[in-house]
Each structure stands twice: as C-alpha cells, then as structure tokens.
Amino acid sequence: MEVKLIIPETWNDVTIETYQKYIKIQNGKGSDKNKIIRSIALLCGTTNKIVKAMPYSELLFIMQVIKDLVDAEPDRQNFEKLITLENEEYGFIPNMSKITTGEYIDLELFCKEPIENLHIIMSILYRKIKLKRGERYSIENYDPELFKEEVFKKCTMDIALGSLGFFFDYRKQISNDFSQLFGKSEQDTTKGLTMQSKWGWYNTLYSLCDGNILNIDKITNLPILTVFTFLAYKQDYNNKMKNNYGNI
C-alpha cells in the first residue's frame, strides 16, 4: 500500500503543542528507532503503525528533513504583532517600554524553560484586542488567573519563535542598559547564598514595597523600566553615601 505523508518543511507547519510533544519524545526514553517512528508519526499526522511499515531508509530521510527544520535559525522576520487563534484576534504588547513588572517577572520565570512553557509565554506576550484603529490597538490587561495559555498551543512555531526572539532581544537590551543591577553581589548572604539568589524577584519586591505585602500588587503594576531606573538610582545613591564622596 502506498503511503503519502505531509512532511513539515517550515515552522509554519508545526504548532507549539506538536513541537513540545516532539521535544518530549527526543528527551524521553526509548531506542533511536522508536523515537524516529514516534516523531515522524507525530509531525506528519499519522500513526506509528503506518510509519513502522515504511522502509527504514525512508524514515531516515524524513528525519533528516525534520532535523534540518529544527536546526535552522528562526527567521526574525516572522514576528507578527497581530495573530488570530480560534476566531479571536490577539495583539503583541503594543509598547514594550510599558511592560509591567508583573509581566516581566512572569516572563523571566517561564523563560527558564522556554520550550516547555512556550504557550504560557505567548499568552503573556499576546492578549485579546480591546480596541483597534488603523495600525494602533490596545489589548486586555494582564491577568495570569484567566488561564488562556491553552489556546496558544495551536499557534504555529514560526510566530512563536519570532515573538520569543523579539522578547529575548528586548531583555538583552534591558540587561545592557541596567548592567549594574545584574552583577553578582556577596552582601546579605545566608549560608553561602545571597538573598537575591535564594529569593529572586521576591527579594526585590520586598525591598521596593518597604516590607508591606499589600504594596506588592502596586509594584508589579508599574512599568519594569520605572522599577529598574529606581533600583539603579537607589544603588548609586547608596554607594555614594557609603563611600561618602561628592555632594548628593
């Protein structure tokens, strides 16, 4: 029986959900041959039984096509500000300089495992359009309790990789602009660990809200650039006071 498979040749042919399953197969247990069979069945939308009936040489050829796709450098030109999922239009955060501290903290957290959390990252970067006039638009406020991330599993990988690359470029720029905040510090250590390395962003939020937990929401709603600017100034001010040089 002749079998025709549709082999994905571009990231536009692969959804986030499919790619996440593919990575789990590659990182899971089993022989190389078994992984090849399961991967081809998944990415080509067929069954393991059909794939097993194919000559092994053909399987290796298909896997090479898939490997070339996976190894290819993502095209940054695929960044899309507006996308449609399940008949709903979503927009990328319109102004990254206004991204809130809460959004940025959550993105930093989920980007520690970017593939596993890619659908969640997308649900933070893209939200439903509230108002649209020409090329300008506004989106819903960020609410992590809405649990919309499952919708983004249907998003294609070309869009996901384009937007993820855009955010990584933005994060790199922030790290460069506020490099003084991202250096290692040996102060406030507890059993060899700094408070920052142990508590991460919570330590920063604690210092910003003066120890009052009721102020945390106020801080997380501020633009991250406002928070970083304040922290950088506070650091310079404290260093000046500590070294007691010049006029304040």
| 159-210: pLDDT as tens digits | 999 999 999 999 999 989 988 887 654 444 445 556 566 667 888 888 888 8
What local confidence, expressed as pLDDT, does residue 84 receive?
Answer: 95
Q: In this predicted model, what pLDDT tens digit does every residue of 21-38 receive, in sequence order? A: 999 999 999 888 899 999
Q: Are 14 and 106 in contact (CB under 8 A)?
A: no
- Among 8, 11, 43, smallest CA distance to 158 is for 11
State which residues of the chain have pLDDT below 50: 185-190
What local confidence, expressed as pLDDT, does residue 183 receive?
Answer: 66
What local confidence, expressed as pLDDT, does residue 237 receive?
Answer: 84
pTM: 0.85
- Among 138, 166, 11, smallest CA distance to 76 is for 166
What local confidence, expressed as pLDDT, does residue 114 receive?
Answer: 92
- Mind spelling out the 3-state secondary structure of the chain? CCCCCCCCCCHHHCEHHHHHHHHHHHHCCCCHHHHHHHHHHHHCCCCHHHHHCCCHHHHHHHHHHHHHHHHCCCCHHHCCCEEEECCEEEEECCCHHHCEHHHHHHHHHHCCCCCCCHHHHHHHHEEEEEEEECCEEEECCCCHHHCCHHHHHHCEHHHHHHHHHHHHHHHHHHHHHCHHHCCCCCCCEECCEEHHHHHCHHHHHHHHCCCCHHHHHHHHCCEHHHHHHHHHHHHHHHHHHHHCCCCC
- Among 140, 144, 55, smallest CA distance to 107 is for 144
What local confidence, expressed as pLDDT, does residue 192 receive?
Answer: 53
The count of other CB atoms within 10 Å of the CB of residue 235 is 15
What local confidence, expressed as pLDDT, does residue 27 receive?
Answer: 93
Q: Are 125 and 79 in contact (CB under 8 A)?
A: no
What local confidence, expressed as pLDDT, does residue 191 receive?
Answer: 52
Q: Are 147 and 113 in contact (CB under 8 A)?
A: no
CB contact set of 60 (below 8 Å; sequence gap of 6+) = 36
What local confidence, expressed as pLDDT, does residue 188 receive?
Answer: 47
